[in-house]
Amino acid sequence: MKTIYYPLCLITALLVLSSNPAIAGEAVVLDEITVTAARDKSDSSNSTLGASGVDQEEIAAQRAATSDSARLLRDIPGVSLYGAGGISSLPVIHGLADDRLRVQVDGVDLMPACPNHMNSPLSYIDPTKVADVTVYSGVTPVSVGGDSIGGSIQVKSAPPLFADSKDKFITKAQVGSFFRSNGNAYGYNFGATLAGQAFNLRYTESSSRSDNYTAAQGFKAVSKGSETGPLIPGDEVGSSAYSGSTNRTIGIALKHDNHMAQLDLSRQTVDFEGFPNQRMDMTSNDNKVLNFRYTGQFTWGDLEGRFSYQDTKHMMDMGPDRYSYGTGMPMDAEGKTTNASVKGNIFLTDRDTLRTGVEYQYYTLNDWWPPVGGTMGPNTFWNIDYGQREKFDVFAEWEARWSDLWTSLVGFRYGVVNTNAGPVQGYDNGLAGLWGNDAAAFNAQNRNLTDYNLDLTAMVKYPPTARQTYEAGYARKTRSPNLYQRYAWSTNAMAALMNNLVGDGNGYIGYVDLKPEVANTVSVTGDWHDAAREQWGIKATGYYTHVQDYIDAKRCDFGQCSAGNVTATSSFVLLQYVNQTAQLYGVDLSGNLLLGKSADIGSFTGTGVLNFVRGDNLTTGDNLYNIMPLNVRAAIVHRLKGWTTSPEILVVAAKTRVSQVRNEIQTGDYWLMNLRSSYEWKHARLDFAIENLFDRFYSDPLGGAYVGQGPSMTTNGIPWGVAVPGRGRSFNVSLNLFY
Ligand SMILES: [Cu+2]
């Protein structure tokens, strides 16, 4: 019944709306709520150099297609996505993913608390709340980087609005809903704002859910997922459903003259999220964030102070599509993160700006697996016992506008990162071969490690004429290992399989003495366009990154790992993290061309993006894992009055350069078409889309290995060699009303 109920609701709302001539007939004016505020000048982290954004139309259109905020980034040149759960894709910039990037949501460095990074930072903001996306994909200014070797991603909700005089009040409200046919996904969002000249009160809430999605054709045998459950059809992607994903935020902001204080309390709860490329599912996530921010504008510049606290309770187990062996396998994690920072934007002269700041982060993690009996009892298995990662950074950067033409930026960042973890135990240390020996070996090691990390950036921007701009830069960037890379300790196959950050189906074992990764990147960008940027534009970026101590993996050949594990070429394997040397390089191309424009037929614009990237392990000669093959996305956008319509084609080459050490799966080439259309009224927006119009079958090159059903607790109980397929055709509709 629910399947029918939701689309009916949407359609009824639409009919009511369109029968109201006062609303339906009005000229199209983008409502303030949907329009991003001008770049917030008080945010000292913003730099003119190296940034690209997602335009508002694109954010609005993507909201209809996804409940996964990372997918809002998909059109940015150089960006691709690791597949994960339905709301948890991991962004990749120029081949570097996950915590190799600095990802901030509303200015907070949110931390995952999970041996699979299921609760990634962008899973904590719903796309309906995203108002602004900024990506630093090339060389990143030190003010927005740190503890990362790739780019930076800043996702923000709308800034608070204030009335422009004492006796005025602003009230705003919005409500929206969506339905997507593939997976029967639906959800809602609403928000309300009350603001005066000195205060702003806001509440927002959103929720979404989806069944398993289906591929365009069968890709595996029809079989039972769990021991006693129903057969799962050959085209259904097991463990891809999610439910009860709800985000709530209450915020208050106070403003006096040039000072603003803002406090947001938010909570995300998820009842269930399946992971087709992991060996267990998320059965609960409860994330609470307190985010306080002060900004002030002074004659000498801007000042920003921030404090945030994040508490995450995360639970995993075998979902309904997997064998439970009668006991399941509960795994719990709790992370707590404190972030504090002070930053200044100091206008030294008309020419020179100095950005400087200090940042502090203290993250603790407990990851424990309650006993279930047999050899997995009688005690709790401690995967990470009181893991700690404490970080202190200081940075300064100087931006100078030498003339209308030349801008330069140089900066340094110095960071101290300390990690530690307490002694561990297995389910039963008395079973020495299974648990006791590994635990004893780990507990005998010094686990208290301190890294001293230095980042440097130098960039220059030169627009010789109004029709071209060139940017070039160099950066040295450093990232210390995360707690799982250093402290996951068990060589037991079942335990190692549960520690996997990349969705390749393999098991991972940490290495305590891992060193920080140090990347040296050069990047050059050329941007050619007509003077008004209305007719045409082409942008090209070339980059090369050399990574010293890149954290890759080697086959496990000790502890419980077998000799066969070292030589296997077509099965899942156990791996240990290791520092090696790597390089990544590539080119991004993007362009747009106004094809035609008239008052009667509207405007037609062609857009295109091409991404090429390679990643090599220079120590072993292997390819790096999950490197997106050559891909092109092209669209024609038609705009006429309130209508925007866009057919889009995506062409992706086969992935044949694969990581041999991981037995990474090759994927074939494919093309897809999507069709999108939207109509905007003053107080409403309707989106309609057909994704994968021709219902083409494909395997997402970065979707990982399919281990979403059956006996996923055993290394090769599930057939190796099946990639997680992409979504078959889906009809999507969403409606948003603004007041
Ligand atoms: Cu998890």
- What are the DSSP calls for 462-503, one per residue? EEEETTEEEEEEEEEEEEPPPHHHHH-----HHHHHT--SS-
Q: State the distance from the centre of ligand 1 to the C-alpha of 414, rounded, in angstroms.
A: 32
Q: State the distance from the centre of ligand 1 to the C-alpha of 633, rounded, in angstroms.
A: 32
**Whole-number Å distance between alpha carbons of 461 and 473:** 9
Helix (H) or strand (E) holding 158: none
Q: State the distance from the centre of ligand 1 to the C-alpha of 447, rounded, in angstroms.
A: 24
Q: State the distance from the centre of ligand 1 to the C-alpha of 333, rounded, in angstroms.
A: 8
Q: Kindly report, residue by residue over 430-451, the tens digit of the pLDDT.
A: 999 999 999 999 999 999 999 9
Q: State the distance from the centre of ligand 1 to the C-alpha of 665, rounded, in angstroms.
A: 23
Q: State the distance from the centre of ligand 1 to the C-alpha of 280, rounded, in angstroms.
A: 8
131's CB contacts (< 8 A; 6+ apart) are 36, 37, 59, 156, 157, 158, 159
State the average pLDDT over residues 109-137: 95
Mean pLDDT of the chain: 92
Q: State the distance from the centre of ligand 1 to the C-alpha of 368, rounded, in angstroms.
A: 11
Q: State the distance from the centre of ligand 1 to the C-alpha of 577, rounded, in angstroms.
A: 19
Nearest one of 328, 323, 332, 290 to 307, comparing CA atoms? 290
Q: Kindly report, residue by residue over 329-387, the tens digit of the pLDDT.
A: 999 999 999 999 999 999 999 999 999 999 999 999 999 999 999 999 999 999 999 99
Which pLDDT score, from 0 to 100, does residue 24 have? 35
Whether 5 shows a pLDDT value over 90: the answer reads no
Which pLDDT score, from 0 to 100, does residue 49 have? 64
Whole-angstrom CA distances from 509 to 159, 265, 380, 495, 554 are 43, 36, 19, 9, 10
Q: State the distance from the centre of ligand 1 to the C-alpha of 169, rounded, in angstroms.
A: 44
Question: What is 576-640 written as a DSSP string?
Answer: EEEEEEEEEEEEEEEEEEEEEEETTTEEEEEEEEEEEEEEEETTT-PBPSSPPPPEEEEEEEEEE
**Whole-number Å distance between alpha carbons of 192 and 174:** 7
Whether 12 shows a pLDDT value over 50: the answer reads no
**Whole-number Å distance between alpha carbons of 417 and 360:** 10
Q: State the distance from the centre of ligand 1 to the C-alpha of 121, rounded, in angstroms.
A: 13
Give the model's confidence band at 61: pLDDT under 50 very low, under 70 low, under 90 confident, else very high. confident
Q: Kindly report, residue by residue over 465-518, the tens digit of the pLDDT.
A: 999 999 999 999 999 999 999 999 999 999 999 999 999 999 999 999 999 999
404's CB contacts (< 8 A; 6+ apart) are none
Helix (H) or strand (E) holding 23: helix 21-24
Q: State the distance from the centre of ligand 1 to the C-alpha of 642, rounded, in angstroms.
A: 43
Nearest one of 284, 287, 262, 264 to 273, comparing CA atoms? 284
Q: State the distance from the centre of ligand 1 to the C-alpha of 192, rounded, in angstroms.
A: 33
Give the model's confidence band at 37: pLDDT under 50 very low, under 70 low, under 90 confident, else very high. very low
Nearest one of 280, 226, 376 to 713, comparing CA atoms? 280
Which pLDDT score, from 0 to 100, does residue 349 have? 94
Neighbours of ion ligand 1 (CB under 5 A): 114, 116, 118, 316
Q: State the distance from the centre of ligand 1 to the C-alpha of 500, rounded, in angstroms.
A: 10
Whether 282 shows a pLDDT value over 80: the answer reads yes
Percentage of the chain with pLDDT > 70? Answer: 93
What Rg, from alpha-carbon coordinates, does the chain have? 25
Given a contact cutoff of 8 angstroms between Cβ atoms, the answer to whether 388 and 338 are in contact is no
Q: Kindly report, residue by residue over 187-225, the tens digit of the pLDDT.
A: 999 999 999 999 999 999 999 999 999 999 999 999 999
Q: State the distance from the centre of ligand 1 to the C-alpha of 90, rounded, in angstroms.
A: 14
Which pLDDT score, from 0 to 100, does residue 20 have? 42
Q: Kindly report, residue by residue over 609-631, the tens digit of the pLDDT.
A: 999 999 999 999 999 999 999 99
Give the model's confidence band at 654: pLDDT under 50 very low, under 70 low, under 90 confident, else very high. very high
480's CB contacts (< 8 A; 6+ apart) are 147, 389, 391, 417, 419, 451, 453, 516
Q: State the distance from the centre of ligand 1 to the C-alpha of 367, rounded, in angstroms.
A: 10
Whether 30 shows a pLDDT value over 90: the answer reads no
Residues paired with residue 250 on neighbouring β-strands, in sequence order: 203, 265
Question: What is 205-222 written as a DSSP string?
Answer: EEEEEE---B-SS--S--
Which pLDDT score, from 0 to 100, does residue 58 have? 81
Q: State the distance from the centre of ligand 1 to the C-alpha of 272, rounded, in angstroms.
A: 11
Q: State the distance from the centre of ligand 1 to the C-alpha of 316, rounded, in angstroms.
A: 5
- Tell me, letter by letter, the H, E, C secondary structure of 515-564: CCEEEEEEEEEEEEECCCCCCEEEEEEEEEEEEEEEEEEEECCCCCCCHH
Q: State the distance from the centre of ligand 1 to the C-alpha of 57, rounded, in angstroms.
A: 33
Q: Kindly report, residue by residue over 156-170, the tens digit of the pLDDT.
A: 999 999 999 999 999
Q: State the distance from the centre of ligand 1 to the C-alpha of 331, rounded, in angstroms.
A: 8
Q: State the distance from the centre of ligand 1 to the C-alpha of 118, rounded, in angstroms.
A: 5
Q: State the distance from the centre of ligand 1 to the C-alpha of 404, rounded, in angstroms.
A: 50
Q: State the distance from the centre of ligand 1 to the C-alpha of 86, rounded, in angstroms.
A: 13
Record the pTM: 0.92
494's CB contacts (< 8 A; 6+ apart) are 713, 714
Q: State the distance from the centre of ligand 1 to the C-alpha of 207, rounded, in angstroms.
A: 20
Q: State the distance from the centre of ligand 1 to the C-alpha of 408, rounded, in angstroms.
A: 43
Whether 274 shows a pLDDT value over 50: the answer reads yes
* Category of 99 on φ-ψ map: left (φ > 0), alpha (ψ -120 to 50) or beta: alpha
